[in-house]
Amino acid sequence: MILATDWVRLLIVCVVFTTAACAIAWFTGLTKPQPFLKAAVRAVLQLAAVSAVITVVLAHLSLTGVFLVVMAVVATATSARRTRTGRRGVWVAAAILVGTVPALGLLVAIGLLPVEGIALIPVGGILIGGAMTATTLSARRALDALRERHGEYEAALALGFLESTAVRLVVRQPAAEALVPPLDQTRTVGLVTLPGAFVGMLLGGAPVWQAGALQIVVLLALLAVEAAAVSTVVELIARGLIRRPSQEGEVRLT
């Protein structure tokens, strides 16, 4: 049970960290403080609401499925907004789900993940979140590259490449940079960071070996999911399905 004094300490720490982020960004000229304030307020409100909802969801398996769908929808909307792809942003759902759904299915099928809300929601959230981040980063970098390196695209066409092949040549490497964070996280796990699944199981009283086993499975699943997301983004851009409104018509696909 959390005491009143604990809530006060929690509030103080949250205010200090948020203020520090705002101050650093403002005084160093990185950005305005408003995004940090909005993010902090949203995080508090959303976690409070989600905590109340999850209490109900965990008691009903059918609601667990609904909750996972809501996660995927929010991830798609967030990625579409961040990539500024407008109405074509709906296609980022394919990149987010192409690896996430099979990965969850495999974990359930082989018995590593019980068909219970207490297991499906956190692991599903981790995988969807990772896919969302990889999709957003790869799409932003790939679309930026397609604009900045349009001359290379035209040169590839002049050499006889198909339009979709020319696009792939330009965007594949920039998109692949989105895999650097998950690769670094996996390489340095236990040495630099102790990820959430590991820490959560330890705090819940699970044996260290069990927490470590689950964490390595989650990390490797994330690698597969994010690699699938990035490769799907490349293909969707190459086929002209993901584009920013300002880039419509810049690439003519056959």
% of the chain beyond a pLDDT of 70: 89
pLDDT at 2: 56
CA distance 126 to 217: 12
More confident residue, 118 or 128: 128
Do residues 230 and 178 lie in contact, with contact meaning Cβ atoms separated by under 8 Å?
A: yes
Six-digit token pair at 45? 């409100």
Calpha distance 110→100 (Å, rounded) = 16
Determine the pLDDT at residue 254.
Answer: 41
Torsion, CA 16, CA 3, CA 118, CA 181, rounded to 10: 20
Return the domain boundaries, the chain.
1-57, 61-247
Q: Which of 155-159, 234-238, 244-248 has the lowest mean pLDDT?
A: 244-248
Sorted by sequence, the CB contacts under 8 Å of residue 10 that are 6+ apart come out as none
- Across the range 173-182, mean pLDDT stands at 93
Q: Does the CA dihedral 220-223-225-227 come out positive or negative?
A: negative
Q: How many CB atoms lie within 10 A of CB 71?
A: 20
Band (205; pLDDT cuts 50, 70, 90): low
Residue that has been written with the tokens 């670094």 in this structure = 184
Contacts of 95 (CB under 8 A, 6+ apart): 79, 131, 134, 135, 138, 139, 228, 229, 230, 232, 233, 236
Rounded CA separation 119/127 (Å): 12
pTM check: above 0.85: no
Confidence of residue 224 (pLDDT cuts 50, 70, 90): very high
pLDDT above 60 for 78:
yes
Please, what is the average pLDDT of the chain? 86
Instruction: For residue 182, count CB atoms less than 10 angstroms from its CB and return exposed for 0-12, middle for 13-18, buried for 19 or more.
Output: buried
Interatomic CA distance for residues 103 and 100, integer angstroms: 5
**Encoding tokens for residue 112?**
């590593």
Query: Which one has a higher pLDDT value, 204 or 143?
Result: 143
